[in-house]
Amino acid sequence: MLKIRGEQFIGKFVISEETGRKFGTVSDFKFIVESGELLSLLLSEVTSYAKEVGIEQDEKGRFMIPFSTVKSVGDFIIISERELV
């Protein structure tokens, strides 16, 4: 199993695998404390496109990308937009 530190995501752009469009920048993440499992990436600098798509928001109004949609992590975080809806 690949081990990834959550800090590796902070400050990276989230990009759609299907369209190449940007959703925003990762500012924080939600995880299960006991296991360290990442649940979702929280975005800042959210684009108008991300708002149009209707990405789920948490109780504080922060846009959340489910970690299950992440396909690749490098200079950018590539997600499957198809799995968001």
Which domains does the chain show, CATH number per domain? 7-80 (2.30.30.240)
Structure pTM?
Answer: 0.85
Q: Name the token pair of 29.
A: 């993440």
Question: What are 35-60's pLDDT values in tens digits?
Answer: 878 899 999 999 999 999 889 999 99
Q: How confident is the model at residue 82 (pLDDT cuts 50, 70, 90)?
A: very high
Q: Is 53 helix (H, G, I), strand (E, B) or coil?
A: helix
pLDDT at 26: 96
pLDDT at 1: 46
